Amino acid sequence: MLSRHYLRSKVLQTIYASQANPSDVVALEKSFSHNIKRLNDLGTTQLAALTHFIEVAGVMIDEAQHKFLPTEAEKNPNKRMLDNLFLSKLADNYDLRREIDAAKVNFGGVEFDEVFRNAYTSFVKLPDYKEYLQRDPYFLTDQTFALKLFKFLVNYEPLRDRLFPQSLLWEDDFDQIAQYNFMMMKAFSDDFNESSTIPLMCDTRHEKDNEGYEFARQLLLTTLRHTGEVEQLIRKNLRGWEFERVACIDIIILNMAVAEFTTCPSIPERVTIDEYIELAKEFSTDRSRLFVNGILDRFVVELRSQGRIQKTGRGLLYPEMMDDNEEDEK
């Protein structure tokens, strides 16, 4: 499941990339949906790389056996990795095979073949591989080995270089999605089999994922629809600074924060402020986090005075903002 912080960053990237035509709300909503789908495709592609590696390993072992003058080790290879229990079940998993087909994952071609062959040659020289060949075939042993192999592959630079051009955002998202896949595979128990569900990054089969996606979609739409109104709010709250000098990314961050303040009653104001300070640190200038923090503090005061922020539960930022009735209730 994608975190809300990660979904906010995807909304920010979608809006920032739309500067040429920010008024086409329908197109931007489609773009956002496509970007989330591509995250699922990236996760599927990483898992497919793991199973494809084993296929290539089998081919290379077979080729070595049938060389004109094979060595003794090549004539009698240790096929422990090819019989890995965890990887065999993963390769045969119905969910994963369906997603690989849907994402149109294709490792064909000379370039990919060379990448995987070189990856195999490098991996079998590692101590982890040699140690694994001596272990008995238990599920946990095979799962642990599969995780080490996956970690090797997602950090193998030639493979990353071949995958990144397939989508503009994959380079930025690659490590985050790899971490998700790693933890997901680590969580499987020994009853994992061909029929087990392989969770996607944003999985519409799960209520929480649907809620997260809907939160991000509404955040996107609300931000786009109220840009002009928020611009006036920004201008009003600037101190010794001209609006035209404010970084574009900071303006988008402030717009998104206002949208979240006014349409997400269950998210505390402090949480919203902290989230957008983090986005400013990740995507904007060194000074932006201080600027965003100061402006959002002023926004909260003004928006509350206008009655536009209505929080439920523990959604209050400042206790002194509660009216007398709320104090009495406490």
pTM: 0.83
**Cβ-contact 46, 181 below 8 angstroms:** yes
Q: CA distances (Å), 247 to each of 2, 256, 297, in order?
A: 28, 15, 19
Position 323 scores a pLDDT of 41
Position 83 scores a pLDDT of 92
Position 22 scores a pLDDT of 60
Position 313 scores a pLDDT of 63
Position 27 scores a pLDDT of 87
pLDDT digits (tens, 9 = 90+) for 106-130: 998 888 999 999 999 999 999 999 9
**20 backbone dihedrals φ, ψ, rounded to 5°:** -70, -30
In the chain, the percentage of residues whose pLDDT exceeds 70 is 93
**Cβ-contact 276, 324 below 8 angstroms:** no
Stretches where the chain sits below pLDDT 70 are 20-23, 313-330
Spell out the residues 6+ positions from residue 249 whose beta carbon is closer than 8 angstroms to its own: 12, 16, 280, 283, 284, 288
Domain ranges of the chain: 4-186, 226-329
Angle between helices 85-92 and 139-154 (to 10 degrees): 70
> Which one-letter amino acid corresponds to residue 54?
I
Q: How far apart are CA 236 and CA 243, in angstroms?
A: 9
Angle between helices 248-263 and 269-283 (to 10 degrees): 160
Q: Which CATH class is domain 226-329?
A: mainly alpha
